[in-house]
Amino acid sequence: MKSTVKVRKFAMKTSSGDVNLTSRIAGLVFKNPVTVASGTFGTKGEFSDCVDYAKLGAVITKTITVNPRKGNPMPRICETPSGMLNAIGLQNKGLQDFLETKIPYFAGIKTPLIVNIAGEEDQDFKTLTRALHRHKKVVRALELNLSCPNVEAGGVSFMRKRKKIDRIVRTVKNETDLPVIAKLSPELGDVIEIAGLVAASGGNAVSLINTLKGLSIDIRTRRPRLANITGGLSGPAIRPVALRYVYEVKRRYPQLPVIASGGILTAADALEFLIAGAELVALGTANFVNPSATLDVLDGIRSFCQEQKIDSLDDLRGSLQLPEKKTCW
């Protein structure tokens, strides 16, 4: 009820004007809450013809590993009802290439850069963190890929035990004062429990959720549509699951910042996550369907707030009104 009163109060005093869309995570200030999910926005400037990167709240990179990775064999993407499966396998050119070619590019963009990193051993995370820490003027936060369902080593199988998650978060925190964000998937187990573990280990935020492991079969060939057999399911099909986890994590740990992702295609989708309490919303699959989806969503959020006479996004964030509990006799 308190949130409702607050929104109504601001509704009375707002005329037209601009909306304060500022969002914050661990001391970092973002001009708006819209960003991109790792691995869905190219590796450098591939979307620059469709999106002015400077208008985004943040940019999250494709996963970076210490050494180059070729990724999984083809085919590794297929469409599914209300979504897609992918088994890219963390293909990337490695840390050195990122430092030499990507850092200089992103240095010219005045938008916070969040670098997603993954490793098979603790030392990999340490090496990546140390190298990126030296570029703090460009790299503003690290997102730990703890839950990629498409990689056997270093993915879900490796991260299954809570002790390893705890150790990796602590390892990274010991090497940098950059904000550390843990990207989680229900494939790891109890997301709510693990989010609490991340916070207790020193993590500054969580990213919810990564893809869900899925399978698609060609009935004529009787073979999996992906060479990897299974892949990560993304898109609108997983949005209710992602929204549920954002809501439950914020309800249990209200002070733990959340980057929400999972089937966000429109401003209405993003607003659901913001009302549930998310600090940022990350678009992934939407970028494949509509390359300018991020800016469309941003415009839609701003228009909604103006229409609803909301001065600041903080008056909307976390304003979910729960139904009153009724006793059944």
- Catalytic positions, written as ranges: 148
Distance of alpha carbon 84 from the chain centroid: 17
Could you give the CA distance from residue 135 to residue 140 in angstroms, rounded to a whole number?
9
Q: Is the peptide bond before 112 cis (omega within 30 degrees of 0)?
A: no
Could you give the CA distance from residue 204 to residue 173 in angstroms, rounded to a whole number?
9
Kindly calculate the radius of gyration of the chain based on its CA atoms and give it in whole angstroms. 20
Task: Dump the DSSP string for 11-72.
Answer: HHH--S---B--EEETTEEESSSEEE-TTSS-SSSTTTTT--GGGSS-EEPPPB-SS-B--S
Q: Which tokens in the block code for residue 290?
A: 């509509």
Q: How many CB atoms sit inside 10 A of residue 58's CB?
A: 24
Q: How many CB atoms sit inside 10 A of residue 250's CB?
A: 25
**What H or E segment, with its residue span, contains residue 320?**
none
Burial class (CB within 10 angstroms; exposed 0-12, middle 13-18, buried 19+) of 214: buried
The residues, any chain, with a CB within 8 Å of residue 314's CB and separated by 6 or more, are 20, 22
Q: Is the peptide bond before 209 cis (omega within 30 degrees of 0)?
A: yes
Could you give the CA distance from residue 39 to residue 99 in angstroms, rounded to a whole number?
17
75 DSSP assignment = P
